[in-house]
Structure formats: structure tokens, C-alpha cells
Chains A and B, each alone.
Chain A
Amino acid sequence: MLKKIIAILFSLIVAFSSLVVSAATSDGSLTYKTYTYNNSKTPYTIPAAYTFEKTVDGRSIGVGGFSGVSDVSYSDETESFYIADSENNRIVVTDKDFTHKKTITGFTNGKKAEKFSKPGNAFFHDGKLYITDTGNGRIVCLNEQTNKLVSVYTKPKISALGDYSYSPLKVTVDDAGRMYVIARDITDGILLLDENGQFKSFFGAPKVEVNAFDEFRKRFMTKEQREKLYKSIPTEFNSMAIDEKGFLYVTTQSSNVQPISRLNYEGVDVLTYTDKYPMGDEVYSATPSAFVDITVDESGCYYALDSRKGRVFCFDKNGELLFVFGGAGTQEGTFISPISIESVGNRIIIADITKNTIEIFKRTAFCDSLFSGISLISEGEYDKAKVHFDELLRNCSTYIPAHLNLGRIAFQKGDFLTAMKEYEYAGNDDYYSVAFKEYRKQLMNDNLVWLIVVVGVIAVALIVLSILKKRGILKELFAEKKWKQDWKYVTHCCFHPFDGFWCVRREGKGNLKVANIILVLFMIFFTVRTQFSGYLFNKVGDGDNNDALLQLIGVVVPLMLWVVANWCLSTLFNGEARLKDVYITVCYSLKPYLLLSIPLYVMTFFLSIDEAFLYTALNSICWIWILALIFFGTLTVQDFSLIKGIVSTIFTLVGIALIIFIALIVVNIVQEIITYVGDRYTEIIYRLR
């Protein structure tokens, strides 16, 4: 016994020591409301992030009404807006205050004057203006200053597509002069063209993951068939924006692909995405967001434009949703068909293709505080950043991004406990886990001496007790009593099931009272673990703590059904066990849960998410042990052979299914009757009114 205790204590000390080592690093005037989502993915109002400033249209610029304004882009270098007035076949250029500078309707190619046809967008890069001349199936590159033609890029040759229809919709150019082109009806990805307009590759469509079966299937295909196989998931991108580091942000409405991606130079999505925050209003499956454009600001925050509900979703560079603003409607600052978005300083510019207007939104003080805080964190100015996030919480105490960033600040400053609190409030388990590991490390470092002292004292106490027992001192305490013997027998059953359970039936060693006590203790332990485990394991372990009762029922009821079904079938299989024997066997089989629950429960307060496998492994061992005991125990008390035991187990499971099936049928019939009567009653009442 003493050996066992010492062994357990030793293993615990080793475990803690290894943890110490391994945890080294880790309206107002507004016609719409601004909101974000809470941890239950329910939207809640926050102070306005952007307020509507004014509307600009062709008349106010002085070029006559727009018709089908499809894109608006801005260049810091020229301080100009480039508005693609598609149906009017022109690009309107204005200064930053929307004062008209020039209108480009075409160019001179040699001696021939050519006109644009339904231009999709205009993108400024390195003194040149790249224009998608959609109707003419080409990209035109002009000198921004002189409007003189630099180059015309016609349909690129793409062998995989053969003779295809080419209608470029959007073009963006990177620092190397490579062009990224979104073309109509091309679902293989974005066309990557070199500076001469030659096709290099498809870009951005997620690769199809090939499984073993596909590999096997391919061995029986012809070369042509293999070539026809999709190498990437069909994706039709509808917009893109390039950030300062050359990453390409893209949006798509293809249902099988993530709506927003951040593509690196290889076309691989590197967007940090957290499912804590919906990517759009996706919690409402009936009307999910339909992103049509995206823009990135200087701080790395990106804004996606939802055309379905006329909203702008702003995420920070960590993929966390900061806020949503805007709306569909006929009020000032709302949209009918928003099509294009651009971020310019502290303003957001949105083009509406139906209203043929450009709506300008101005950042509020609340949003200024938010972005200042985010920027200051990037610069390592944590104290200054904290002032901003505290300010945000003064205005909106439930604003989750503020809590998250306060958590980050506290973490960086080594205040891990505060970080944990803030992350817990923000509902971010991953960050919490990292902060928790650091906190644990800090705690262990600070209290290692005390911990060793406590463990030592316990070890000494156990040794002393053992000696006292051996010498017969404290005889009373260690005297063998009936209940102790029965309790010990249960443990015996757990480690020697064939011997133990045989005697339960044959020698009457099973004790109904003890079985009942074990079942009650099991229920208590189960509830405590479900309800009161550590924060991280309440989420990742036993599930939501609100339905503890339901979970308990989900375990106890099947066990009792097993008892009843197995007993019922024992006659069929010439089993020898009585109902009482099967019940005792099942209850005794739960003893491992009682043995392992305490260490499992304690672990939930010490392990991080990374180390959850330890918990999961031990928990799995516990349940496998229980199930094995139930199986072999039942087999033994019924005196079945292994084959007969397996067959009876299958039949018992079928019996359980039958009982559940019958119960469900009864419930279903009752429900149907209630619904039928309710519907008829409602209809009669409604029709009679």
C-alpha cells in the first residue's frame, strides 16, 4: 500500500516538474446601428464606429449622373479617387475631396481612338493606371498623368481553359508589377499575369485534398480523364485588395469556400480566423452575408462589404470581428446595392450601383480610440494602449474586443491573472489557455518550495501512518469491518473482474447497498465534474455546464436500460443472473470512475488546452475500463462463454434500441396528436374569427 502511495506521489511530483519545464513559452443622426457579437453569437449594440458624412454622385462632382458605378479606388500617391462609371463607359478621376480632375473615356492606340466598354475598375500603380475594359475583354494600362497608352493586355493564353470567353472584372497589381485579374465565369481562381500580361498561374482557389480512394481511382483513369479532374475547388472570387505587405485579401460568395481569405505569394490562405466571431452574419443561415468587396487599412484591419444587408464587417489583423455597421434601406447612410468599398484615412467610401452614389462615412471618437489602441499595442506601447481600451469600456462595458486587447496588454506586461480574466470575459479559450500556462508557470516558480514542503509532509504522514498500522498502533482505525470488506471487494472486482463477479453471483458477495452507494457517488462525481471543472475543461471537456442534469440522464439511463435489457434476454440465452446481479455488476463497474475522477477533476485546474490530451487519455482509459468491466462482469454473472457473451451483448444493445424505439414511437404519436389537434383547433379558431 505504502509503495503504491509513494509511487503515486512520485509520479505527481514528476508530472508537475515536467509541467514547469514544458510551460516555458507560450443615432442619433444614424439610421443604422453598429454592433458586434457576444460569446453566444448574439448581436449587441455598441457605440457608432463610423458615422455617415455625405453622399457624392455624378451631379455633385459635375460630370452628370453616374450609371452603374461599379468600383471606387483611391491612391495615396496621387491623392485621387478612380470611379468606374461602368454604364457610362468612363473612369471619373477626382481629388480626395471628390472635386473633379478628369474623365477618361478611352485612349489613342497608334492613330486610332478607342473607347472603353463597361470598365470594371481602375487601379493605380507606379505612375500607371490599370483599367479593366470588361466589355472589350482586355486590360488597358495608361500613363496616369498623360493618359497615354502604355500597354493593352488582351486575353491571355491559358491551355487549361482552351478557347474561353474573357471578361476581366477587377485588376490589382503588386510591387513586382504582376497583375491579379478576376475574370467573369472563371472558377479556377484569380488569373496571375506577369508584367507582360502572360498567364502565369491560377491563384487562390483552395486545392482539392486528395484522399487514398481518389489516388486509387486515378490509377484506372486515362491521361485525359486525369487532366479533367479538378485540382482546385471551383471558386469565383468577386473582389480583392492588396495590403502593404503584398498579401492579397479576396472575397467570394462560393458556398464551399471561406468567404474571406488572405493569400500569400503562393496563393495559400494565411488569414487568421477565429470561429468565435462569425465571418458575416452567418449565424443566420437563411440570410448569410454576401461579400462583394474588401479593403485593408494601414493598421491591417480589413473591411468586408456585405451586399445582402448593406453592412460593413471590420476585422482586425487577428481575424477578430471589431464591429459591423451600415444597413439596407432608403434612409441616409443606408444602401440598396453596395458594390465597392475603399478605406481612406479615417473614412470609408462605399459605392452603390443601384443608387449610383458614393457614400462617405467618417470614423467616430469611439472608433478612433479602438484603432489607436490597436496601433499602440503593435508598437509595444501597452500603457498608452490600455488608456484607450479603458476608455472604450467606459462607453461600452460589454465590448468584447476591448476586453480581448486588455487581455493582450496584461499578458504582455506579465499580469497573467488579469489576462486570464479578460480572455475569459472575451470567451477566447485559446488565449486564455496560453495565459493560463504562463500563470501556472509563474505560480509554480513562486511557490515551488512550498509545494515541495506540502508534498513532503504528506509523504511523511503516510509513511508514519503505515508504520503505525504495521505496529498495531491505532488498531481500531485499521480494523477490518464488514462495510470495509465490501468496499474493498468492489475494488477487487475492478482489478480481477472474472474472479470478483463470479463470486457476486455464486457466493453472494455482491452487496446491493454498496452498489446503490456507488451509483449515487457516481452521479455526484459526474455532476461535480460536469458543473465545476476548470474553465477550459468546462468548455472542451464535459460540455456546457448548463445541461449537467441532461448529461447525467444520458449516462445513467443507458446503464439502467442495459441492466433491464440484459436481464430480460438472460432467459433466451440461458443466463443465470438475476436482475439484482446484473444491477450490482453494472454499479460495481462504475468504481473506476470514482477512482479516477479526483485526479481528472484536479487536472482540469492545472492543464492548458495544449495538454488536454492527458486529460482526454485518462478519461478515455476510465470509460474503456468501465465498459470492459460491464461486458466481462455481465458475461461472468450470466456464466456466458465469450462468443455467447458477444452475441448477448449485441442482443442487449438491440433490446436497448427497441426499448428506446418504442418509447420514441409513443412520444412521437403523442406529439403528432397534439400537433394535429393544435393545428386544427388553430385553423378553426382563425377561420371562425
Chain B
Amino acid sequence: MKKIVLLILCIALLLTNLSACTDKAITSDIEEYRKNPADKTKWSVASEDVLLENDSYSFNLSAKDGHFSLIDKKNGNKWISYSKKAPENNGLAEIEVNYFDAQSQVYTMDSYNNAAVFGSFEVYSAENKVKLSYTLKTAEKEILVPQVISAERMEKIKSNIEAKEYRQILLYYTKYSSADTDAKTEAAKNEYPYLKEHDIYIVSQGLTDRVKQDLSDDLYAAGYSFEEYLKDLEVMGIDESDIELPPQFKVSVVYALTEDGVKATIPVEDIKNEAASYVLQSISLLPYFSFDGETENEYYYVPDGSGAVISLADKPNQIYKSAYFGANLTVDSEWSSQLVQNNTLPAYGYYSSTASFMSVVTGGAAESILTARVKGSEILAGGIYSSFNLYAYDSISIRPGSKLSDVNYYSKYKISENPEVLIKPLGGSQNVNVISSALRDYLIKQGNLEEKEKVKANTYLEFTGYTTVSKSFMGVSYDEKIVLSTIKDITAVIEHLHKNGVKNLIVRLKDIGNGGMNHNAGNNFDIYSGVGTKDEVLKLAEVLEKNGGELFIENDITVSYRDEFFDGFSVSDDTIKQLDGSYGYLQDFDLAELDYKRTHNPRYLISPKSYKSFAEGFLADLTKLIGKNKVGISWGSAGKYLFSDYNADSEIDRVMSAKMTADVLKYLNDNGSVMTDVGNFYTLEYTNHILGAPLYCSLLSSESDRVSVLFEALHGCVNYAGESLTTAIYPDDTVLRSVECGASLFYSLITEKDAFRDVDNKMSILPPAAEYFLDTIIKNHKELNGFYENTIKAQLVSNKQLTENVYRTDYSNGAYSIVNYGDTDYTADAITVKANSYFLKEGE
């Protein structure tokens, strides 16, 4: 018996150690993602203007006010870091910061009004680089009303000013002697232990602003300074966080001149907060960067969905504001009640008749928000820029209906990557294509995209395996499995399509095991016997491959609908935590209430730290069952959602989350072909197929028109398809828009007719039976395949509006398509495009 007990104890000890080791390993991995490369630049102080130059650009920074100018040598266009059209002193800053006080009130400071005008910045230079270190403060001299003054300091003050002023100071300070033992002094001794051995003066409460200003003037006049006050606090052993200090932040910005333009970086390690009761929450970088010259027909480009442009002439006073890569649903306050598209590319731009620029957020994009502000009144200057969350924050009510006030929560760590923006000046243009082609070239040059030979004119089919419906008997609930598709039937559908000439079919099998549509964590792989067997899957893969197609199996690592015993998923270890410490859930959007409701299909959000191990588990099972490289792997939500995790032990911001996601995709890519949905930028490098790519922008009132910059960048590099035609909310339009964007067609289907009759808990449009759509698939393929084959390897060079409802897309091989969304025929140049139809012309 003793032996058994001893054995159990040993095993328990071993398991505890193992688990501790695992935690440690995970934590250290996470820290690897947080590391920024150390700045090894040898900076030297620059007291005069700094000039940087290369073959393409000339950069000149003024040591007087921190402004810079950038001259594009190709065309002589001059760009400046501020706005000359700025009203008053707005629009003259290179950086703007938002910060919160202890009561969660938000304030703003900028590098011009809160530093440059006081001369509160230093300039450093290095080869092709220049660094400005700002000390941002609310006034040139902070109001100096020390909470506590030591007796020695008071003596010095007394000796430096006249008796009248000194008496004035003493009116508002009470002297406490270390020798006194009255209750008031004892209480003060508890608060300020320094009083136990030294006399001190404590300021009176409730001073008016006027009195504070007078006191401050007197103290400055006596030669006392803020820096000395901070030193005194240290001598008195008083923690700065116990004293209400005025807000003061140190922020640096580094400009580096490259052949691609100027790169502006905020080194996170240089950011210092001098007053503990304030939180520096976000930093906007180059908010007023503008063209220094006369121009017309000005537009901003924003990467909203497929892309959108904002006319500066038509949209006065409008503001566009949106996070890159979709909202962070881990932070409740970022949830939107509007149906908007993801900003899939971390890029923005400006174009006009004379000058244009393209900008790419090269650091911290996932924790950044894009703002495009059109000047209309005299209050604000316009500009397009990115703001970076230095700390993520959320305002949370402790309990609805409770009298306790809302509390602001902040992430423990600062942003894990230095915020960085590249601005590349371009020539004048009347079209956004100047930006899209520059962007494509840049992304290819950086290795984010690659013009691939493997891209094909595909048709995408997705089949859903099964779902579970919650039923109950005598109040005891149980899950009933409902088969939606069987592999046999899918194979029959595919063979039918092949017989009818539809080749290059890319099929994604979704929810064929592991709980079906309401699946468990994606850390394993199985096939529900009602759906099919591994041999049937292998046969399907073979049938597809023989006809130029490919089979993908979807595994959703991002969420888990349930937590079951021995499923390798632990809510406490693997679920994301929000800033208030609660678990993160994803829910269905309630269409009537415009809110994500906890009652609507809630699922746990998996922490990015678990992605890798879950992917490994899935891949191991898949390899064991099907074999290696037999099928491709799809992780749809990887390109659609990006979550942070504020677990106290292992905090992961969105930048780290994006890197972790990309690393897992790389790992999957090393083991076969990879497919994702939507196509957020960080997934592009390791993705071969994108489904559900946004064919539209969000059509916000601030936007003038939709454009196709996303596809002008992607075409020929990645296979992509738009929204599923069978589950689209407006399928008629989706076909036309797919043709316009050069997107393959995508159909989400099931094989069992009427299988969804018993499913009433789904809030989205459910995939229909394949038999209803076979003719449509064949017809569309016949009409489009030739054109797609002809254009798939060409570059999509231009997409423009011809009339109100007619758009033309041109390819580098001379092919083009004209799409007519209107109800009347369109005729031009002897070409008639029928209403709600398209005209296709193949190229060389």
C-alpha cells in the first residue's frame, strides 16, 4: 500500500513539474515574440538642421521645430511633415498622443504645441537616420505646487525670496514637526514616514487654480524647480505614484531615409511616463504629412475591404477611422454595431493630380488604427495617418446596474513592436492605380507576396459535413447529429462536374469530424462515420487531383464551441482572457439588437499561445489517418479574426498574435498547401488560397467610392475567391463583382437535401443542397473559365468606373472585363454590355 501511495505521489510530482516546465516554455516563447531588435545606432547630438539624402530623395529636418521636408528627386515634389493649411497651431505636429488620467478622462498632447514650442526636444543624427526625442508636457513650466516640502527646502526657499512672498507661501502650507505627537501629526507620520525624523510642510487641500498658479510662480521665483521637487521626493522616500504629478511623457521618433521613401519609427523603449497617475495610451504618427504645393483632385486611399477612396473635395468634415485586420473582439469597446469589412492591408495613401504617396505600416499594424480626416472647417487640419495603441485599454462596468463606476483597464505591457510607417512619395495621378501598383511592387520586394506559377483559374466548393442539434428528454439535454454531406455524395457531385467540363475544382471539407459545425477545439482530427471514411476522403482527393483540383480539410483552431473531458482543451489554460480577467468568447451577431449576444452560439476564443500545439495535434492525427501531403489544410478564421490575450501570466497583443498566427501558417504550409478566409495581410506569405476575400468596401458615408486595390495587389500571387455565391446576402451582385475583381467563384454547399430543417439555432444563411446549384456551377464555369485562364497569371493593372453602374478592369496582357450593374444596357465603342451582366475580352 505504501508503495502505491509513494508511486502516486511521484507521478503527481512529475506531472506538476512537467506542467510547470510547459508553462515556463510557453511563457519564454511568448517573450521571444515581444522582443524588439535592440537599437545599436550610434547617435550624435545635432544642434543644427539635419540633411539626409539618397538617389531618390532629399530629407531635411529643422532643428528649430522638428518639422521635416522630403523632396522626391524624380519629380521635384516637396512633402512636408505638417500641414500648411493648419488652422491656428493645429496640424503642425509630427506625433500626437492620447493619454488617460486616473479618472479615465482622455487628453491629447502633440509634439509641436507640447514640446517644440517650448524647445523641449533634442535632435540626434546617424547615417541616413535622425532621431527626435520629445518631452511632452502641458506647459513650458509645469505648475509647481509640491504636496510636501521638507523643512530644509523651505529654508532655502525663504532665503531666495522676499518675506512677503514667503508669507504668501506659508498661507497654504502647514508645518508638521517630528517632535509633535498629536493625532494629526501621527496620521501624517503614517503617510510620510520622513516626518518621524524631519519636519515637513504639507500643502492645504482644495486650492483654486489661481492660487496654484501664484504659488507655482513664487516657488519658481525662489529657484525651486520641478526636477528638484522630484529629487526631494526621492530624498523624503515618497513614491512618485503617491503624488499627483502633472502629465509628462518622453517620446522619440526616428526618421530613416531609404530608397523606398522615409520610414518613421517610434522606439517603444524610449517612451517614458514621468507621472504615474497618467497612462499614455496611443500615439499617432505623422498625422499631417502633406504635399507642399498646388494640386487638385485630391483623394485618400483606405484599405477598407477591397479598398475605398475618399474625395477631399466631396467629403468635407468626414472622418474615416478603422483598425487594421478587423476589430479586436477581445476588447469589448471595439465591437461595432455596423457591418464593416476588414482593413486587410496595412496600407494607405493619397493621390492627386500633381503628387501622391503610398504608405505601409511596417511595424505595429495589428495594434493600429487608420484615420483619414478631411478638412472642412477651420477647426481641424486634414490628414491620413495611423495611430498605435501603446497600451490596449477597455472601459468595463463592474456589474450592470451597480453603483460602482466604470473602470479603465490597460494591458500590462506596451505594444510589442516599434510602431513604424513607411511613406513612399509617388507622382501625380488621377487614379488609385498609382498606389496599388506601388504597393504590389513593395510587397513583392519585401517577400510578402510572390508572383506564383501555381496560381490557377479555380472553382471553389465547400461542403459542410454535419451539425449537432441540442435536444432534450425529460429536461436532460443531448446532442443529435445531423449529417449534411457525405463524402460519397460529394465525390458524386465532383465527378458530375468533371464530366461536364468543370475542372480545377478546389474543395474544402468543413466540419466533417470533431463535433461538426459546433466543433470542439481544433487540436485533433477525426471523421464522423455518418459523413464518410478515410478511404472515401482519399478517393475524393485522388479524383480531384487527377482533374487539376485539390482537397482541403478545414480545421478551426481559433474557437471551440465546447469543453469536454480529455479533449486536450482546457478553458483556463487555452482560452483568451479579456482585460478584466474574464474569458473571451465569440458570439453570433444579433441582427435585431446589433450586438454580439452571449446566448447566440457562444464559443471560446483560443489563445494564440495554443495555436501551435493545436495545429501540431491536428496535423499528427491527419497524417496518421490520411497520410502526409495528401490533402491541403484550411484554417479559415486565421485570415479573418485577430485576437489579443490579456492573460496576466502570458499577455499577447495583436502584433504578437499576428506573428504567432503567421508562424503556425508557415508550419502548416511546410506540411502542405494552405487556405484561409478573408486574407488579412499577415497570412498572405503562407497562404495559397483565400476564400471570402472582401469584394466590397464598407460603403461608409465618409467614403466616395469602392476600388479594387486589394486585388490589384494580390492577382497572380495568391488564388482568391470572393464571398460564397450560395450563402451571399446578395448573390446576383456577388457574381458580377467577382468578375470585376478577377475573383474565382466560390460555392458553399451540402449534399443532403432538407438536412437543415431541424436546425433552428443558426443565424446565418445556411449552405443549400448541391443538386440545386450544379447547373449554375457548370454555366458559370463555361462562361468565365476561358477568361479566367487567360488572365490568371497576368497583373490586374487597372479598375475604373466608366459610368454610374459600369466598371472596367484591365489586365497586363491586354484582357479586360466590363461589368454592368445597372438595369439598362451599356454601349460604348461598339460593345454592348447587357444590364446586370458583363463583357469579357481575352488578351494575349
Contacts and interface: CB of A to CB of B under 8 A. Distances in A.
B686 to A, nearest CB: 28
Given A35-B592, A329-B337, A330-B700, A689 B581 contact: yes
A263 B728 CA distance: 39
A32 interface: yes
A154 interface: no
Contacts of A28: 695-696, 723, 728-731, 733-734, 737
A336 to B, nearest CB: 9
B831 interface: no
Interface string B35-48: 00000000000000
Given A35-B591, A43-B591, A398-B759, A27 B729 contact: yes
Contacts of A35: 591-592
Interface in B376-410: 396, 398-399, 402, 404, 407, 409
B593 A682 contact: no
Interface string B192-215: 000000000000000000000000
Nearest to B755: A397
B766 A397 contact: yes
Contact of B338 (A31, A43, A685): A31
A505 B731 CA distance: 78
A331 interface: yes
Interface stretch (B67-75, B149-157, B472-480, B560-568): B472-480
Contacts of B726: 395
A550 interface: yes
A35 B594 CA distance: 12
Q: Is the interface of B mostly helix, strand, loop or mixed?
A: loop
Contacts of A327: 338-339, 594
A45 B339 contact: no
A277 to B, nearest CB: 12
A687 interface: yes
B728 A397 contact: no
Interface string B592-603: 111000001000
A47 interface: yes
A48 interface: yes
Nearest to A685: B581
Contacts of A683: 398, 404
B728 A549 contact: no
A568 interface: no
B624 interface: no
A333 B699 contact: yes
Given A51-B733, A331-B700, A365-B732, A397 B756 contact: yes
Nearest to A36: B591
Contacts of B453: none
Contact of A531 (B473, B593, B773): B473
Contact of B729 (A45, A552, A685, A686): A45
Nearest to A548: B474
Interface stretch (A183-191, A251-259, A279-287, A612-620): A279-287
Contact of B760 (A29, A39, A48, A531): A39
B282 interface: no
A398 B766 contact: yes
Given A28-B729, A333-B699, A44 B474 contact: no
Which size class do A's interface residues fall under? 35 or more
Contacts of A330: 338, 700-702
B730 A30 contact: yes
Interface in A348-378: 362, 364-365
Nearest to B821: A29
B5 interface: no
Contacts of A334: 338
A324 B729 CA distance: 13
Nearest to B471: A546
Most chain-A Cβ atoms within 10 A of its Cβ — which of B696, B761, B762, B765?
B765
Interface in B674-703: 695-696, 698-702
A27 B398 contact: no
Given A27-B728, A40-B760, A45-B729, A686 B398 contact: yes
A689 B723 CA distance: 42
B413 interface: no
B339 A33 contact: yes
Nearest to B410: A689
A365 B737 CA distance: 16
B581 A394 contact: no
A593 to B, nearest CB: 18
B757 interface: yes
A159 interface: no
B769 interface: yes
Contact of B593 (A287, A394, A527): A287
B108 interface: no
B412 to A, nearest CB: 9
A395 B768 contact: yes
B269 interface: no
Given A28-B729, A689-B581, A394 B769 contact: yes
Contact of B698 (A331, A395, A527): A331
A63 to B, nearest CB: 20
B335 interface: no
B764 A425 contact: no
Contacts of A54: 804
Interface string B742-757: 0000000000001011
B26 interface: no
Interface string A26-68: 0111111111001110111111100100100000000000000
Contacts of A114: none
B699 A331 contact: yes
Given A33-B729, A47-B728, A682 B399 contact: yes
Most chain-A Cβ atoms within 10 A of its Cβ — which of B399, B729, B762?
B729
B590 interface: yes
Given A45-B764, A45-B765, A549 B339 contact: no
B772 interface: yes
Interface string A522-565: 00000100010000000000000011111010000000000000
A32 B700 CA distance: 12
A352 B475 CA distance: 49
Contacts of A395: 726, 731, 765, 768
A35 B589 CA distance: 12
Contacts of A365: 732
A30 B729 contact: yes
A467 interface: no
A40 B763 CA distance: 12
A281 B474 contact: no
Contacts of A27: 339, 696, 723, 728-730, 733-734
B567 to A, nearest CB: 26
Contacts of B734: 27-28
Given A31-B338, A531-B473, A689-B409, A43 B763 contact: yes
Contact of A548 (B340, B475, B768): B475
A686 B757 contact: no
B763 A44 contact: yes
Contacts of A29: 696, 699, 730, 733, 737
B591 A682 contact: no
A334 B339 CA distance: 11
Nearest to A395: B768
Contacts of B701: 330-332
B730 A396 contact: no
Interface of B: 337-340, 396, 398-399, 402, 404, 407, 409, 472-476, 580-581, 590-594, 600, 695-696, 698-702, 723, 726, 728-734, 737, 754, 756-757, 759-766, 768-769, 772-773, 804, 823
21 contacts: A27-B696, A31-B338, A31-B698, A32-B339, A33-B591, A33-B729, A40-B760, A45-B763, A46-B765, A47-B765, A287-B593, A329-B338, A330-B700, A330-B701, A332-B699, A395-B731, A548-B473, A548-B474, A683-B398, A686-B580, A689-B581
Given A43-B591, A398-B756, 6 more contacts: A45-B763, A331-B339, A395-B765, A396-B766, A548-B474, A683-B398
